Amino acid sequence: MSFLSNFFKFGSQNMAIDLGTANTLVYVQDQGIVLNEPSVVAIETINGIKRVKAVGDDAKMMMGKTPDSIEAIRPLRDGVIADIEIAEEMIKHFIRKVHGKRNLFRYPEIVICVPSGSTSVEKRAIRDAASNAGASEVHLILEPMAAAIGADMPVTEPVGSMVVDIGGGTTEVAVLSLRGLAYTTSVRTGGDKMDEAIVSYVRRHHNLLIGDATAERIKKDYGIAVVPEDGIGETITLKGRDLVNGVPKEITINQAHVAEALSEPIGAIVEGVRIALENTAPELAADIVDQGIVLTGGGALIRRLDEHLREETGLPVSIAEDPLTCVAIGTGRAMEDPIYRGVLMTA
């Protein structure tokens, strides 16, 4: 049996997967990040039979624009798998896309990163999805640990470091030292909640209904954590459906409105950081005063968020070099580098 499993694993490329609520990134051993696509699956129903129509970029383009027979699903919500079957199909698709048809019999070892607040049931669901997708061995790594490794933080040394990873579904706040998490908290607020906040703000103040894709575009292009100095900032043109007349309509808002809309989700992230600092051991807190806080994840790209956090905590705050890929790079390094092997877990 071991001969057979070794035969199948021969020449296989081990993979690290950052299974994110918004995007899934795949890191292949000795190659780096080879895939970065949205975590979306489009399912088509014909005569009562469901089949996968598109995954990733192609499926994301269909969101909010599908006929009754097609449904665009995001299998992960708030950092955890909401639909295990669809998630499995998505993982299978990405593995096949990376490996190609020629590697049909090759069973790679896979490392998947999970939010620190995941329950054992959720971890098992992720492990089972990867095993069913063809992995020979599945290891898990906690998201804040992967983010810290990807951001080149001294996680193996007896020094306290603090990382704030703002993802699509969750914000992970953790204090790390000696390959472990001294304290961690998972705030169920991230990029998705910011999109929802923009949608509800526009609906409440302008009686205009906009889609999630439009809200995401506003967040990426104009998102700001504090009101601009001139009180207005850039102006933004929005198109959506007028809730009073029911017809399509165009309105103009500015960055100050966006800052107001984002104040609640950003406030929840700041509160999560405060709670983590309150629960940190004094020696580690002393290290954090010197080391500061490092921001990773897509949410770190919100303009002036580091400045806002600096004002709220009084600590130095920096943004990782490439916040969007930090977790995937850290997961890959943990798989490749024996120094980090101790941070991997089995579900």
Confidence at residue 87, expressed as pLDDT on a 0 to 100 scale: 85
Confidence at residue 80, expressed as pLDDT on a 0 to 100 scale: 77
* 3-state class percentages of the chain: helix first, strand second, coil last, to nearest 5: 40, 30, 30
Q: Is 143 labelled a binding residue?
A: no
Q: Is 169 labelled a binding residue?
A: yes
Confidence at residue 102, expressed as pLDDT on a 0 to 100 scale: 52
pLDDT 10s digit of each residue in the chain, 347 long?
Answer: 444 344 444 446 788 999 888 899 999 988 999 999 999 999 999 888 889 899 999 999 988 888 889 999 998 887 777 888 888 888 888 888 887 755 555 568 899 988 887 788 888 888 888 888 788 889 999 999 999 999 999 888 989 999 999 999 889 999 998 888 889 988 989 999 999 999 999 999 999 999 988 999 999 999 999 999 898 889 999 999 999 999 999 999 999 999 999 999 999 999 999 999 999 999 999 999 998 999 999 999 999 999 999 999 999 999 999 999 999 999 999 998 888 877 887 75
Confidence at residue 107, expressed as pLDDT on a 0 to 100 scale: 66
Confidence at residue 319, expressed as pLDDT on a 0 to 100 scale: 95
Give the span between the Cα atoms of 91 and 242, in whole angstroms.
39
Q: Is 86 labelled a binding residue?
A: no
Confidence at residue 64, expressed as pLDDT on a 0 to 100 scale: 81
Q: Is 134 labelled a binding residue?
A: no
Q: Is 299 labelled a binding residue?
A: yes
Q: Is 298 labelled a binding residue?
A: yes
DSSP 8-state assignment for residue 14: P
Q: Please state the pTM of the whole predicted model.
A: 0.88
Q: Is 22 labelled a binding residue?
A: yes
Q: Is 168 labelled a binding residue?
A: yes
Q: Is 124 labelled a binding residue?
A: no
Confidence at residue 6, expressed as pLDDT on a 0 to 100 scale: 46
Please report which residue ranges of the chain form alpha helices under DSSP H.
Answer: 2-9, 57-62, 84-99, 120-132, 143-150, 191-206, 212-222, 255-278, 282-291, 305-313, 326-336
Confidence at residue 5, expressed as pLDDT on a 0 to 100 scale: 44
Q: Is 47 labelled a binding residue?
A: no
User: How much is the CA Rg of the chain, to the nearest whole Å?
Assistant: 21
| 44, 53 contact by CB (below 8 A) | yes
Tokens of 71: 């449904």
